[in-house]
Amino acid sequence: MTKRKMATKIPVTVLTGFLGSGKTTLLNRILNDATHGMKFAVIENEFGEIGVDDKILPETVDEEIIEVMNGCICCTVRGDLVEALKRLHKRVDKFDGVIIETTGLADPAPVVQTFFVDETISEMYTLDSVITVVDAKEILDRLAEEKPEGVENEAVEQVCFADKVLLNKTDLVDEAKLTEIEAELKKLNPTTPIVRCQHAKVSPKELLNIQAFELKRVLDFDPEFLDEDQEHQHDDRVSSVSCRIKGNVNQNMLSGWIGRLIQDEGANLYRYKGILAIKGVEEKFIFQGVGMIFNGNISEMKWNIPESERENIFVFIGKNLDHEWLKNCFKACLVTGKLRFKVGDKVQANTGEFVDGKVIALWDDGNAYRIELQDDDKTNVYAPIDVDTYVRARK
């Protein structure tokens, strides 16, 4: 690939795909790849009020050419996209192309439309391609999801607008399922190439400067595409919960809570991710998940600040979420040294229903409480964190 000449428009690649499909992993691979010889400006868009992905971009990326927008790029912050592109163009000598990573809940249409209906932007930039990443484990459920009347299925729109689809996480399903997925994708977008991959490993030369976007194809399936007055409505059952809090997390408590949360609420969790400070660990703990699939590890990224100043960030995106409950549960995972109950206290433990018991140990195997139930077997149960959802005073 050759570098852009100053007199030509700047190529833009849009990375889209539903929550948790692997867009940020792909972006990191592109930015870390030395073969394409290009330098990029990056526009990061996250649905939540607090961003996470921009905190884990490679340290080699020039911070001057990273723009971060919180909110949905396809509606509430679309004007911000135009302003961000104009600001970046003032530093045009610093990069050869722009990559926009949309939130997983974005309909690509208004983003793509920006490069055709805004005269200034169309003179500065050219839309090179829309790359859609899909999660082989989740995509069929996302495509089939029924939405309220008038609400678009974002996963469907993302596939329809794709100039190339990356069928990611192919290791999580068998060949028969992959064939079924490809057939469904072709129904929505018959002409788009589909590239199978794992961990978003795709050569940048298949994604950059491919000049794949064709306005005619879009107008064929959406004749009103260039109408700026089109209504765009999200599913109001879907929301994001963000939290930023100083402190250090008890890893066992966090694991216990996350495990139970996924078991009870996994069907409603579209995406969750965060960067955490684990008590006694100098590296950042980075976690992410989609539905009931959770992944969290101590990274190689060190904090480089005192333990007392470290800050935890997490975002949950899903349907019918209880915001305050999620925040309170997370805060209860922080190491404080103070628990509400002591050994010997009579409590009620939630085992599906609240049952009388007695606290017999604190911080047992990372759990806040070990409780002996008052039954014939003196059954022992655990409360992973110190909140009323799991253990409460007797009434």
Q: What is the pLDDT of residues 251-298, one digit of tens each?
A: 778 888 888 888 888 778 877 888 999 887 889 998 878 777 788 888
**Percent above pLDDT 90 for the chain:** 34
Q: Can you give the pTM of this predicted structure?
A: 0.64
Least Cα distance to 112 among 252, 226, 1 occurs for 226
Secondary structure tally for the chain: helices H, strands E: 10, 17
Residue 183 phi, psi (nearest 5): -65, -40
Lowest mean pLDDT among 18-27, 197-206, 222-231, 366-375: 222-231
Confidence of residue 12 (pLDDT cuts 50, 70, 90): very high
Query: Is the distance from CB of 132 to CB of 159 less than 8 angstroms?
Result: yes
| Chain segment 315-358, per-residue pLDDT in tens | 887 888 888 998 898 888 888 767 899 999 999 999 999 999 99
Pick 372 or 334 by higher pLDDT: 372
Token look-up 């990573």 returns 101
Could you give the C-alpha distances from 57 to 31, 52, 68, 252, 309, in angstroms and in order?
8, 10, 12, 27, 21
SS3 277: coil
Burial 261-296 (b: 16+ CB within 10 A, else e): bbeebeeebbbbbbbbbbeebeebbbbbbbbebbeb
Which residues lie below 8 Å from residue 373, measured CB to CB, with a gap of 6+? Answer: 349, 351, 355, 356, 357, 379, 380, 381
362: tokens are 């604190």
pLDDT of 106 higher than 50: yes
pLDDT of 230 higher than 70: no
How far, in Å, CA of 138 to CA of 132, rounded? 14
